Chains A and B, each alone.
Chain A
Amino acid sequence: MNALSKDMSGPLALFANRLNTLAGPERQAAAGALARTGLPDRKSEAWHYTALRALGKQDYAAPPAQVDDGAVRALLDEVLRAHPAMAGLPRVVFVNGRHAPAFSALPDDVDLAFFAQAPRFGLQAAPDRDPLVALNTALAEDGLYLRVPAGVDGGHVMLVSLGVAGAEPVSFHPRHTVVVEKEAHLRLICVQAGQGAYFHNPVTDIVVEDGARLEHVTVQTEAAQAISLGTLYAHVGHQSVYDSFVLGLGGQLARHEVHARLGATRGVVHVNGAQRLAGQQVGDITSVITHAASDCTSRQTVRNVLDGHARGVFQGKVLVERVAQKTDGYQMNQALLLSADAEIDAKPELEIYADDVRCSHGATVGALDDEQLFYLRSRGIPEHEARQILIDAFLDETIALVTDATAQTFCRAVLAARFAGKGDVA
């Protein structure tokens, strides 16, 4: 595929060395697609609000074979310390996109495999439509394959992705697959953390089969210099539930993109999320929820709290196909701007082709509610504290939507550890 190199202008050039030495038809096709489209810029509607300029001018090397164990241990401990229950949960730890058995504590009741041994690209991700998926497809080295057999309660599994970069920026592109078979149940907690300058580009392919249930919480606390652009596909079967939540706190540029497809009747999807950002951070929650069968329900609540020069992005599309009669879709996104330089860009979107539906969305942007603030202060609470209470409450309402109690407590703990006594500097 040497012919590719001349087409790789712009950010793509950063990966040129690695893209020119690929094996296998999937990877080559993906690299070909990538060469045709390049990485998206803001002219692409899906990336209207998030520029990839931040990918920088430097090359992204493949991660080194050896990583400092002490650094990994420290990062992992910080994750596990957040909540006493975490250390006891089964976990699969990836360091720079590669499975790190020494740090994992593998679960028993589920079936596990690794991409490095048996590559699986899944059926849903479309390299030809999404350049970041193409990049992942071309460069993926490892990833988790997790299957909960039919009827089994797989309990909790933690998927911990740690980025550890030294002087040279690295990029890693793990490819995960999660299958919850018929009538099975899984509580998946994904944690992303790290140190140094790295680019994390995971693609996750999820299938929730008929009557199954997946509760999926992602806590994103990537390193301050990290770029994290994750794409997730979820297929939701008949009477099954995919209940997801993302808490976005870290990275200089982070995007959590979810494509959830209700492919059979009576499925339920929740794509909730919260971001709290400051400094120069850019955080993007993007989702496409497709109702492709009748009698399905989707719910989405996303909130952003933005301080400093931070910019929050929410793009949420609900697509109701012609067959999807009796769809019940609701979406709400809200933002609080805490500083004069913060910015929110939101694009909630309804695309509807069936008539017997109930779909609505709402959006609000603003500062804290003056009346609430006054009420608290009239009860003797100092203004700073009153603001803090309201900000916490604003985010906490989204965390309250997390149905898995352990994950919920974990989210609260992470948030508290990061923002205790800080936060509202305006």
Chain B
Amino acid sequence: MAGHDRAKWAKVAYPPIDYQDAHYYAAPRKKPGPKSLDEVDPELLRTYEKLGIPLHEQALLAGVEVPEGERMPVAVDAVFDSVSVATTFRKTLEEAGVIFCPISEAVKEHPDLVRKYLGTVVPAGDNFFSALNSAVFTDGSFVYVPKGVRCPMELSTYFRINAKNTGQFERTLIVVEEGASVSYLEGCTAPMRDENQLHAAVVELVAMDDASIKYSTVQNWYPGDENGRGGIYNFVTKRGACRGARSKISWTQVETGSAITWKYPSCILQGEGSVGEFYSVAVTNNHQQADTGTKMIHLGRNTRSTIIAKTISAGRSDSTYRGLVRVQPKASGARNFTQCDSLLIGDQCGAHTVPYIESRNMNARIEHEATTSKISEDQLFYCRQRGLSEEDAVGLIVNGFCRDVLKELPMEFAVEAQKLLQISLEGSVG
């Protein structure tokens, strides 16, 4: 582990972390499940409220039993401090043949499946943080969608770092068999703490022939205060393998939190005609740093990838898009389109774009475009002439700037994401 380079690739600066000092794993004290919302930790409810999750869903999230017949749109596996505390809708999913459970449980109940796929996309030795995760991971979610099944509901894991000084090292594995599909949402929050906490998750996706996986993240871990004290170090390894022909993996992320974000959700496009997508909004304010992007590795014929990355920097923050598009010799007919746009708000921040484009196939086509600009004075004035405050006008224009990404999010998340954008840019104008 110690032999691994930490984050050489990334353009972030962070004080050395004492990995011995982080408590890898803090199991929440076991209590019987709450019977009504009144029994639920009020801080937890506030978090949900902030996220705009409607109350009946909050009840579900908090593991409160609900009467039969209520609308149940999202199945949730809530992970606090790396331990799954509640997985909802197990029954409905089981009927469809979908497995959605804490990975600790999957190891016991479905050992063959776990053994067959875990670590096949992200080997333990992949990078320093994945090695750390492999050594200490305690829980996470496991999803298995059998052949031909369209998962009947959105699946969601809700991560939260609760305890002081805890590292969160959960591990997620999603396997979707031939012709099956799933949409998976991941929400993350952490309450304010003034020490830095580490989040080093590993997510592996496997898609077989004609399978499709949509993985959406809204990340608002605590970013630290306006002086850059505290906040989460978010070093996540996310990678999907499009193993089957015509399989599709789509990553959508809205990153507004964390003191430092370092993640590159990637697609290995192996199956003929497989498709990888990456839609990203990264917002940084105050002293936040984000270095995020994707890797699209085209191995198979006629593979396609699309990258849309929107970067917004405000305050004294720095934000970098870093991406790799690689077309290997066998990937005839491969296509990539990349669009990276950066928006700067204020003159103390930085926005950087670092794409790596490598092609070894004459029949592949790659197009990359990047722009950097600030919010146009004309647009701002036009909105204000119509009566919008400067802050609202910025919010509106920023949301417009991010629209191509936000529209990829499931409805519930899109609304929440828009709010988050606004919140994280608070105080950045005027």
Contacts and interface: CB of A to CB of B under 8 A. Distances in A.
B14 interface: no
Interface string A351-367: 11111111111111111
B370 A352 contact: no
A339 B329 CA distance: 11
Given A340-B329, A355-B347, A367-B363, A347 B374 contact: no
Contacts, number: 113
A253 interface: no
B370 A350 contact: yes
Nearest to A322: B347
Interface stretch (B86-94, B115-123, B141-149, B349-357): B349-357
Contacts of A361: 353, 368-370
B426 interface: no
Interface core residue of A348, A350, A355, A366 (most chain B CB under 10 Å): A355
Contacts of A355: 344-347, 349, 374
B357 A347 contact: yes
B3 to A, nearest CB: 14
A338 interface: yes
Contact of A352 (B352, B355, B359): B352
Nearest to A360: B371
A351 B362 CA distance: 30
A354 B344 CA distance: 8
Contact of A325 (B327, B347, B365, B372): B347
Contacts of B371: 359-360
Interface in A234-250: none
B226 interface: no
Interface in B93-148: none
Given A325-B347, A335-B359, A349 B368 contact: no
B237 interface: no
Nearest to A354: B347
Interface in A325-346: 325, 335, 337-346
A287 B350 CA distance: 20
Contacts of A348: 353, 355, 357, 368, 370
Contacts of A335: 359
Nearest to A351: B352
Nearest to B353: A350
B358 A351 contact: no
Given A351-B352, A355-B349, A360 B359 contact: no
Interface on chain B toward A: helix, strand, loop, or mixed SS? Answer: strand
A340 B370 contact: no
Nearest to A358: B373
Given A352-B342, A353-B350, A367-B363, A360 B372 contact: yes
A357 B362 contact: no
Contacts of A425: none
A351 B355 CA distance: 12
B366 interface: yes
Nearest to B320: A351
A358 B364 CA distance: 30
A366 B365 contact: yes
Given A349-B353, A353-B350, A356-B347, A337 B368 contact: no
B367 interface: yes
Nearest to B357: A346
Interface in A213-236: none
Contacts of A367: 362-363, 365
Interface in B211-257: none
Contacts of A322: 347-348
- In the complex, the 7 A-B pairs of residues with the closest C-beta atoms, listed nearest first: A355-B344, A337-B362, A366-B365, A363-B368, A365-B366, A360-B371, A346-B357
Interface of A: 322, 325, 335, 337-367, 426
Given A357-B374, A365-B359, 7 more contacts: A342-B362, A346-B355, A352-B351, A355-B346, A357-B344, A363-B355, A363-B366
6 contacts: A337-B359, A341-B360, A361-B353, A363-B367, A365-B357, A426-B362
